[in-house]
Amino acid sequence: MSTHEVTIAGEQLTLHPERAVYWAAQRTLLVSDVHFGKGAVFRRAGIAVPSGDTDDDLRRLDALLATYEAQRLVILGDLVHGAATARSAWVDDVRAWRARHGAVDITLVAGNHDRHFDVASLGIAVQQDRLAMPPFVLVHHPHAHVDGYVLAGHVHPGVVIRDGWRKHRLPAFVFDRAVGMLPAFGTLTGLHEVRSASGRQVYAATPAGVIPANVATTS
């Protein structure tokens, strides 16, 4: 899978098709909207979804951390999807995963879903509101900030790419003039289709790699 390099706010960022950003200058890996435990929440509600989503996402994080030998991982909100019960196996799985990466500084910038669970109990530091890493301001909700270029999540951006008569809905990285949005990292997350805007750069995460994407103009 091929990555794609972009320069944002004067910093070089690597866009990875596993829906992550690596900031080499800071040895920092960025992901957003992991939604651990979402499958368990759905199954408790009687919605038939396959199990194993948390294990799959943990393996993907393992591979990314190993590839880049990242010293820091920052999650831009919604690490978890909802409240857990005593029978929620994913909690023990995530806690064990955190213990295996004790040398990595892991911080969550709290999102709206994270209020349902004590993320600090997993051994992960929690930063409310925002985390300043100049020239970036790392947040969950994508709103411009006076202190720097915003990198955010929450929206789960995606694009539709046409291949002849077929249409492919793909996660996307979106960079506007003051705000950038990461695609949702979690396996069971949906997409919100984004459209063209002045100055907007969009990159689709395809199975083969990250590619620039032409998106429809706003009507």
What's the pLDDT score for residue 153? 95
Mean pLDDT (the chain) is 86
DSSP E strands in 17-61: the ranges are 20-23, 28-31
- 166 vs 209 pLDDT, higher one: 209
The stretch 98-116 carries a mean pLDDT of 89
For residues 163, 165, 167, 168, the Cα torsion angle rounded to the nearest 10 degrees is -40
What topology does CATH give the domain 4-212? Answer: Purple Acid Phosphatase; chain A, domain 2 (3.60.21)
Range in 65-69, 116-120, 172-176, 188-192 with the lowest mean pLDDT: 188-192
Q: Where are the domains of the chain?
A: 4-212
- 35 vs 8 pLDDT, higher one: 8
HSE-CB at 204 with a 13 A cutoff on CA atoms is 21
DSSP bridge pairs for 126: 108
DSSP bridge pairs for 36: 80
- 122 vs 144 pLDDT, higher one: 144
What's the pLDDT score for residue 36? 85
What's the pLDDT score for residue 115? 80
Global model pTM greater than 0.75: yes
What's the pLDDT score for residue 53? 66
Instruction: Give the integer Cα–Cα distance in Å for 30 and 20.
Output: 6
Q: ∠109-112-115 over CA atoms, to 5°?
A: 85
Nearest to 194 by CA among 218, 210, 211: 218
